[in-house]
Amino acid sequence: MSRNAFLFGLFVAIILVIGLYRAKDGARDSSADIARLEQEIADAYKQKRLLEAELAHMGRREWVAEYARIELGMQPARANQFATEFNLDLLVGPVRPEGARTPAAQIEAVVETVKEDDTPGKAGELVGADEQE
Amino acid sequence: MNAPFGLLKVGRMSRSLMIVSAFAVLFVLIGMRSVSVALGAGGAIDVVDTREREAHIRADIHDRNGELLATSVSVYSLFADPRAIWDAGEVAAALGSVFPDLDTHEVTARLENRARAFVWIKRGLTPRQRQAVFDLGVEGLGFRVEHQRAYPRGSQAGHVLGHTDVDGKGQMGVELALDKVLGMAEEPVRLTLDSGVQYIVENELEAAAANYDVLGAVGIVLDVHNGEIRALASWPAFDPNRPALASDAARLNRAVGGVYELGSVFKPLTIAAALGSGGISSHERFDVRSKLVINGFEITDTHEGASRMTAALVLAESSNIGTVRIAERLGPDGLADAFGRLGLLDKAQIEMSGSAAPILPSKWSALSNATASYGHGIAVSPLAFARAFAALGNEGRVPGLTLVSRERDGERPEHERFVSPEIATELVAMLRLAVTDGTGRRADVPGYRVAGKTGTAEKPIAGGYAEDHNVNSFAALFPSDRPEYVVLVVLDDPRRGGEPGGTAALNAAPVAGRIIERIAPLLEVAPVFDPAARSKRASRERSAP
């Protein structure tokens, strides 16, 4: 009985030792993987720094401004091209008096007039009628 | 017979026992070792760390919006072990085929020194150059990975950033002033500069240099409330990527390391000091009809105006005589004290190397008091002056200068009181008048309410002043109804077709105006159009020839 117990204990101890050994072996592999990944991260970080430097280099404002000027015909914005809600009256004229018709409403009114008359040649007077208002 | 048999039996048993014992000990040892290895007793995991062993990477430098201004990139540096090289001349010649600029004689001499085991051949190689050296197949050569400082925006903010040497040590500008911080910081160091504003200032200075054939130029944009520098430019430009190729003129940061007699831009400071001391009132009129003679030195005005002027008119017409009369109320001690509170008697305190000390009168006499009141006989750095001028826009408090963004720790420089908020506001109104109706008209930008002052100073030469060589400047605050920024432009010896380029009203003022028009949207200053001012301007333009 004691011999069987001894053998069983020995068996369990061997299993434990083997299990621990495998775990240790796995940890060793994981550690190597981590080191490799850390190296990859370091390389990627280095690459990122280089790309950021290249982006900053390629995005130099003098080049962008030159490109915008030559290729797109753009110029630095002038002060009178900016407006706030307080400046609109001065820049584009006062708000239409209350009750005044919008340009769209004016056109609609003329179209209605044309429909009512329904005579040839009236449509040709649309522009003139709009301008008179 | 029994005895020998018995002895033999005992001997066999003894041998068996010994063998069994030996095996038992062996198994116990193997078992113990197995357990030891499995449990890892005393064992760190023996894994080779394959990462490159590199020095700490110097921190990047960003502008206030996170745009990259300076970084460190990995480069290869070539070294040799002379003891492993048989024919130094042959190796040097082979390297010379890869690096045409290499001094092969000097390299040969270094490689022949077999007492040394390590000599640098060339540092900062590109991957392509490294491969070319590999392809030579020469023994005794090796590479080390190093970090080289790179400034991807070229010369932009070159004077502010400075540069490092081949070992990564700061040599100039912020790189030198913040050398330790940059060497240790994990996060990028964020400056107060705005790349967009910096570009515009540099761009306009370059245009001014071409138009007026200047020897040098300075442009500064400063936040009046917290002293943060939004742009600081010095012309000729300096490319920190190639510091060795820069001329002395390009290396000099004139905004910080140059000192100038800036002329009439000092007048508002003198008038503010006099108003603050109670020595004059804003309604008082000063007689400017006749020239002044102090210790044999004549003080005159270059253009005629009213015979008696208020302080506002003195400023608008830039009267030297009027300013001296006002400064006389302060006295030499009073003016020196006022300039001291403005920080004009010391070098500008800023996180940048090379801040120049001012050149001051050896003694504050009546004459030096008179000339200093309108910016002669006292030479200061443009940055120190910009700080003093900012006090007028900051309700009379002198802001502490800074180049490093302090958003993170909330640290703010202390502000010293120069004059009361009421007097500061009054001075800004006078400066606005100097732009709308005085010498600064060409700096006006519709909508941005520019307030400012021109300064035209003859350049000092041995024994006096050069009549045909000037330092022209324009100091501006905008918007004048709620000042946010100082813009200072200084042009060193502007010329037109070889002739003197005229007063600051003709060159420095319009340059400042153009800068303000372009930077205001970036600084989120909205234009406000005053109908009265617009019609007045239109009428003036109509009446102009």
Q: How far apart are CA B124 and CA B164, in angstroms?
A: 13
Identify the residue with better confidence: B1 or B484: B484
Identify the residue with better confidence: A93 or B211: B211
User: A129 pLDDT band (50/70/90 cuts)?
Assistant: very low
Cis link prior to B236 (omega < 30° from 0)? yes
Low-confidence winner among B54-58, B149-153, B267-271, B392-396 (lowest mean pLDDT) = B54-58
Enumerate domains of chain B plus CATH numbers. 74-150 (3.90.1310.10), 198-543 (3.40.710.10)
Nearest CA in chain B to A20: B38
Q: Is A95 part of a structural domain of the chain? A: no
User: Distance between terminal CA atoms of chain A?
Assistant: 119
Contacts of A76 in chain B (CB under 8 A): 200, 517-518
A18 touches chain B (CB under 8 A): yes
User: A126 pLDDT band (50/70/90 cuts)?
Assistant: very low
* Number of C-beta neighbours around residue B406 at 10 A: 14
Cis link prior to B479 (omega < 30° from 0)? yes
**What is the rounded average pLDDT of the residues B104-119?**
90
Q: Is A13 part of a structural domain of the chain? A: yes
Catalytic residue among B72, B195, B264, B480: B264
Range of the domain at A19: 1-70
Residue B312 is encoded by which pair of tokens? 């506002």
Q: Is A53 left (phi over 0), alpha (psi -120 to 50) or beta?
A: alpha
* Number of C-beta neighbours around residue B107 at 10 A: 22
Chain B nearest C-alpha distance from A8 (Å): 16
φ/ψ of residue B152, rounded to 5: -65, -20
In 3D space, the residue among B365, B540, B363, B290 whose CA is nearest the CA of residue B435 turns out to be B540
Considering chain B, what percentage of its residues have pLDDT values greater than 90?
Answer: 64
Q: What is the pLDDT of residues B440-462, one digit of tens each?
A: 999 999 889 999 999 999 998 88
pLDDT for residue A97 is more than 90: no
E strand or H helix at B478 = strand B464-478
Q: Is A29 part of a structural domain of the chain? A: yes
Q: Is A4 part of a structural domain of the chain? A: yes
What's the gap between Cα B465 and its chain centre?
Answer: 30
Identify the residue with better confidence: B246 or A91: B246
Nearest CA in chain A to B515: A76
* Number of C-beta neighbours around residue A23 at 10 A: 12
pLDDT for residue A105 is more than 60: yes
**What is the rounded average pLDDT of the residues B27-45?**
64
Test A28 with B528 for CB contact under 8 angstroms: no
Q: Is A82 part of a structural domain of the chain? A: no
Test A42 with B51 for CB contact under 8 angstroms: yes
Q: Is A41 part of a structural domain of the chain? A: yes
Q: Is A57 part of a structural domain of the chain? A: yes
User: Contact at 8 Å (CB) between B525 and B531?
Assistant: no
Q: What is the mean pLDDT of chain B?
A: 88
Q: How far apart are CA B41 and CA B60, in angstroms?
A: 44
Q: What pLDDT is attached to residue B46?
A: 39
A115 touches chain B (CB under 8 A): no
- Number of domains making up chain A: 1
Contacts of B52 in chain A (CB under 8 A): 39, 42
Test B446 with A80 for CB contact under 8 angstroms: yes
User: Contact at 8 Å (CB) between B191 and B69?
Assistant: yes
Q: What is the pLDDT of residues B404-449, one digit of tens each?
A: 987 655 555 567 899 999 999 999 999 999 999 989 999 999 889 9
Active site residue B264: yes
Q: How far apart are CA B125 and CA B134, in angstroms?
A: 12
DSSP string, B171-228: -SHHHHHTHHHHHH-SSPEEBS--HHHHHHHHHHHHHHHHHH--SEEEEEEEETTT-B
Q: Is A44 part of a structural domain of the chain? A: yes
Report in angstroms the alpha-carbon separations of A79 from A6, B254, B339, B451, B513.
96, 30, 36, 16, 11
Q: What is the ipTM of this complex?
A: 0.70
Chain B nearest C-alpha distance from A6 (Å): 15
Mutate to test the interface with B, among A18, A90, A92 (most CBs of B within 10 A): A90
